[in-house]
Amino acid sequence: MWNSINNLRLLWPSIPAIVKIILFFSTWIVVWLPAAIVLAIALKWHPPQPLGNKKLPLLASLYVIVPFILWATTWIENTSLTNWGWAWQPAVFMSLMRGLGLGIISLVILFGLQLTAGWLDLKKSETSTETGEKKINFWTLILNPASLLTLLLALWISATEELIFRGCLQTILQQDYSILISAAIASFIFAIAHLIWAAKETLPQLPGLWLMGMVLTLARIADNGSLGLAIGIHAAWIWGITTVDTEGAINPTGRAPEWITGIAAKPLAGAAGILLLLATATLLGLTQISVNGR
C-alpha cells in the first residue's frame, strides 16, 4: 500500500488540476462518511429532513478532519501551508484583524443604509423606563456569550474554508489555469458546497456566494498571497449575519422587494448584498493598485 501511495505521489505532478480537486473532495467525503453516519443516527436525522440545529454537529465533524486532509494534500503536493497563504506569523494575524474590521464596517454600512431607507426595521426588544419607548441594546446583542461563541465559530469556519478554497484549491488550479479562471472555478465549488446543508435556502444565494468567493480571492491577492485578510472578512460576515439572523434583530419592512433586501431575509440573495460585495471588491482592488503603485 505504501508503494502505491509513493507511486501516486510520483505521478501527481502529471495529473490535471481538476482531477486533483475531484480526488481531494472524494477523499474528504470518504473519510467523513463513517462519522457522519454515526452522528446522523445519534441525532435521529436522515435526508431529506431539514437539518435545523443538527447542522452544527455534522458541520463540526466534517471540518474537524480538514487538518488531516490538508496535511495529506501538502505531502502529496510536496508543498506547505505557507504556499497556500497561511503562516503562524504576526503579520497574518494583523491582516486577520484588519479583515474583521473591514467586514464589520461593511455590514454596518449595508444594514445602516437599509435601515435609513426604511427597508429594514430594528427589533424592539427592550423598554426604556424613562420614555416607555422600546429599543434594542446593540452592545448586549454583540457582547453576549452566545454572540462571542458565534464569533469563535465564525473564525474556525472561515479559516477552514479559506484554507480549502482560497488556499488549497486556488493554488492547485493555478497549476493549469490563470488566476481568474482558477478563482472562478474555486468560487463555483465554494458556492455549490453550501447546497449540502440547506439546498432550498441556498439556491437564491448561489450568485452571491460565487461572488463572495471571488471577492475573498481578491482579498488574498491584495494581502500579497496571505489568507489573513480573507479569513477576517469572511469571519466578520459569518458572525454579523448569523448574529443578526439568530437574534432576529433586523427584519424587512416590506417597503422594498425581496430581490433588493434579500430573498428569505438572506443578504446574499438580494441586490443590496451583491452591492456590498462589489463595494468590498472595489476597495480591495484600489488597495492593491495603491500598494503596486508604491
Q: What is the pLDDT of residues 164-188, one digit of tens each?
A: 999 999 999 999 999 999 999 999 9
Dihedral, CA of residue 190, residue 162, residue 36 and residue 27, to nearest 10: 80
Sign of the CA dihedral with 86 first, then 77, 168, and 180 last: positive
Spatial distance between the Cα atoms of 69 and 25, rounded to a whole number of angstroms: 9
Lookup: cell for 71: 496535511
Q: Report the pLDDT averaged over residues 106-133.
A: 74
Per-residue model confidence (pLDDT) at position 288: 65
Residue with cell 422594498: 256
Q: How many CB atoms lie within 10 A of CB 122?
A: 14
- Name the least confident of 102-106, 139-143, 283-287: 139-143
Alpha helices, H only, 43-137: 55-63, 66-77, 90-117
Instruction: Give the rounded percent of residues in the chain with a pLDDT score beyond 70.
Output: 87
Q: How many CB atoms lie within 10 A of CB 185?
A: 19
Long-range contacts of 86-90 (CB under 8 A, 24+ apart): 86/163, 86/167, 86/226, 86/227, 87/226
Residue 4 reports pLDDT greater than 90: no
Residue 205 reports pLDDT greater than 90: yes
Spatial distance between the Cα atoms of 45 and 54, rounded to a whole number of angstroms: 8
Residue 95 reports pLDDT greater than 60: yes
Spatial distance between the Cα atoms of 5 and 2, rounded to a whole number of angstroms: 5
Spatial distance between the Cα atoms of 19 and 33, rounded to a whole number of angstroms: 21
Residue 144 reports pLDDT greater than 60: yes
pTM (two decimals):
0.89
Mean pLDDT, the chain, whole residue set: 86
Q: Report the pLDDT averaged over residues 202-229.
A: 94
Per-residue model confidence (pLDDT) at position 289: 64
- Name the least confident of 2-6, 34-38, 69-73, 100-104: 2-6
Confidence of residue 147 (pLDDT cuts 50, 70, 90): confident
CA distances from 261 to 103, 195, 196, 252, 268 (A): 18, 21, 24, 7, 9
137: Cα separation from own chain's centroid: 27
Q: Report the pLDDT averaged over residues 258-277.
A: 90
